[in-house]
Structure 1
Amino acid sequence: MTGSDRWRSGVVLALLVLFVAVTFGPALVGQGMLLDTGWLHAMMPYAADGPIPQGTLWCRGDTWDYYLPGVENIVEGVRHGNWQTWAPYEVGGAPLASLPNHAVLSPVSWPYWVMPLWLAPAWVKLTELVLVLAGMVLFLGRLGVRRSIALVAGLVFFTSGFMMMWTNWPHTKVACLIPLLLWALDRAVRERGARDLAAVG
Structure 2
Amino acid sequence: MSSHPTSARGNDRLARAAPYALFALLVLAVYADPLFRRRNFAGRDPLGYHLPVENAIHEAYARGVLPVWFPEISGGRPLLANPNAGALYPLRPALSQVPFPLAARIFPVLHWLLAGAGMLLLLRSLGASRAAAWVAAVTFVFCGVSVAEVFYPNIHPGMTMLPWIAWAVHRYTPVTARRVLGLSVLFGLLLLAGDVFTIGLGLLVALLWTALEVEKPLQVRALAGVAAAFALGFLLAAPQWIAAALWIPETNRAVLGMKLDEAFFFSISPLRALELLVPYPFGETWRIDKSSIWGWPVFHGKAMGMFTSLYAGGFAAAAVLLTWRQRTRGARFARVLLLFAAAVSVLPSLTPKSWGSISAPLPLRYPEKLAVAAMFAFAVLAGLGVDALRSRRPRLR
Q: What do residues 119-140 of structure 1 show as CA deviations (whole Å, max 9, x unaligned)? A: 1222112211221122112211
Higher-Rg structure is: 2
1:24 paired to 2:31 = yes
1:175 aligns to what?
159
Cα pair 2:119 2:163 within 8 Å, conserved? yes
Rounded to whole Å, the distance in 2 between the matches of 1:184 and 1:127 is: 20
Residues 15/138 of structure 1: CA separation in 2 closer, same or farther (3 Å cut) = closer
2:84 aligns to what?
101
Cα displacement (A) at 1:150 = 0.9
Q: In the alignment, residue 33 of structure 1 is paired with which amino acid?
A: N
Which of 141, 146, 150 aligns to 1:158? It is: 141
| Counterpart secondary structure, 2:42 | coil
| Counterpart secondary structure, 2:99 | coil
1:147 paired to 2:136 = no
1:122 aligns to what?
105
> Map of 1:65-76 to 2, 5 A cutoff?
65-76=48-59
2:278 aligns to what?
none
Using structure 2 for the length normalisation, give the TM-score: 0.38
Cα displacement (A) at 1:33 = 0.8
Which consecutive residues of structure 1, in runs of 5 or more, have no partner in the other structure?
37-59
Q: Provide the identity percentage.
A: 26
| Counterpart secondary structure, 1:114 | coil
Rounded to whole Å, the distance in 2 between the matches of 1:78 and 1:13 is: 31
Q: What do residues 55-88 of structure 1 show as CA deviations (whole Å, max 9, x unaligned)? A: xxxxx1x312222221221222233343232222
Q: In the alignment, residue 40 of structure 2 is paired with which amino acid?
A: M
2:119 aligns to what?
136
2:183 aligns to what?
200
1:54 aligns to what?
none
Rounded to whole Å, the distance in 1 between the matches of 2:133 and 2:93 is: 26
Residues 124/80 of structure 1: CA separation in 2 closer, same or farther (3 Å cut) = closer
Cα pair 2:79 2:87 within 8 Å, conserved? no
Rounded to whole Å, the distance in 2 between the matches of 1:165 and 1:171 is: 11
Q: In the alignment, residue 127 of structure 1 is paired with which amino acid?
A: L
Aligned residues: 169
| Counterpart secondary structure, 1:84 | coil
Q: What do residues 134-175 of structure 1 show as CA deviations (whole Å, max 9, x unaligned)? A: 211221111101123212211111122322222142101111
